[in-house]
Amino acid sequence: MKVAVVGVTGMVGQIMLKVLEERNFPITELIPVASEKSIGKKIYFRGKECSVVSMREAIVKRPNIALFSAGGGTSLEFAPKFAEVGTTVIDNSSAWRMDSTKKLVVPEINAHVLTKEDKIIANPNCSTIQLVMVLNPLHQKYGIKRVVVSTYQSVTGTGKHAVNQLNAEIKGEDCEKVYPYQIFKNALPQCDVFAEDDYTKEELKLMNEPKKIMNDECLKISATAVRVPVQGGHSESVNIEFDKDFDLEEVKFILANTSGIILQDDVSQKQYPMPFYCEGKDEVFVGRIRRDYSQPNTLNCWIVADNLRKGAATNAVQIAEYLVENQLV
């Protein structure tokens, strides 16, 4: 099977190669794709050297699957061109997520909606993925009335230049600023640009994407997204109000037995999820589960995941695996 990785030199592209290799995805030919300035650059996959090619060269090769992580503008321009030659595109940008003609997929939740006709498939926002992984099984059991989520997001979500800024600031060195302020020793209540009603685009993604993934337009979600000087993954403080009451032990049992989730919730042993320890892992970690005594039928929890893996690369590869296993490509 021919697989193109578009944006292969970026942070997510590099992790995509790693995940494809780790999961032994069935590839007969890897087609690494990047911007014009990277054409000819050598990358290594399964111990073999491959040369980065242009977008047009990759389209001519007609890959079966193209994993895109190259930004919304690139995806809007080139994903349809890949689709025209029969390639199934799995796109990590925000370009297609809320397009009513495209599927927005977290495999553990809604891969069943995919068909052979879906030639452009959207990968959700990183912070959305870890949120819905926890919300969905609880919604099925208790019905969710309202969610309030505050995120504490890794600089890796912004990209290489943001990581460079943090590391330079830690060392006291001058550097190119990606953020409007210093990120070291700071917390910026702005992820992405500001949009309507003074919410950021990141917050709007958190408020809207779960409705599409979980197929429930009645979900009420309020979000605040904060960038913090962390590199391992995104963390989320989540308050969930249900339609009916719940048993805490049953909630923990449901989550512990949900594929893709690891329950870390033993405060007596100081066991709870942390981004430092989730880095490099594919699961979503949840803990600090406790009843909210300020109102009925409500709980608090803490969700952590590696935003470059389950929040991006791993989820995309899992979609590709589902397509192959179900003969949809």
> What is the tens place of the pLDDT at every residue in 3-56?
999 999 999 999 999 999 999 999 999 999 998 899 999 999 999 999 999 999
Instruction: Output the domain CATH number for residue 303.
Output: 3.30.360.10
| pLDDT for the residue 59 | 97
d(CA 258, CA 253): 9
Whether 175 and 241 map to the same domain: the answer is: yes
| pLDDT for the residue 40 | 92
How many separate domains does the chain show? Answer: 2
Q: Which of 230, 235, 243 is nearest to 304 (CA)?
A: 235
Stretch 80-107: mean pLDDT: 97
DSSP 8-state assignment for residue 199: -
92 burial (CB, 10 Å; 0-12 / 13-18 / 19+) is buried
Annotated catalytic residue 50 = no
Beta strand ranges found along 158-283 (DSSP E): 221-227, 234-242, 261-263
Whether 147 and 262 map to the same domain: the answer is: yes
Both tokens of 96, joined, read 């297609």
**How do residues 216-253 score in pLDDT, each as one tens digit?**
999 999 999 999 999 989 999 999 999 999 999 999 99
Annotated catalytic residue 234 = yes
Percent of the chain predicted with pLDDT > 90: 98
Whether 167 and 113 map to the same domain: the answer is: no
Q: How confident is the model at residue 269 (pLDDT cuts 50, 70, 90)?
A: very high
- The mean pLDDT value of the chain amounts to 96
Q: Which of 323, 310, 256, 255 is nearest to 281 (CA)?
A: 310
Whether 137 and 271 map to the same domain: the answer is: yes
Active-site residue, from 139, 234, 278, 301: 234
| pLDDT for the residue 36 | 87
- pLDDT exceeds cutoff 90 at 117: yes
- pLDDT exceeds cutoff 90 at 196: no
| pLDDT for the residue 71 | 87
Q: How confident is the model at residue 259 (pLDDT cuts 50, 70, 90)?
A: very high
Active-site residue, from 50, 126, 191, 301: 126
In which domain, by residue range, is 82 found? 2-123+312-325
Whether 81 and 202 map to the same domain: the answer is: no
Q: How confident is the model at residue 311 (pLDDT cuts 50, 70, 90)?
A: very high
Stretch 161-186: mean pLDDT: 96
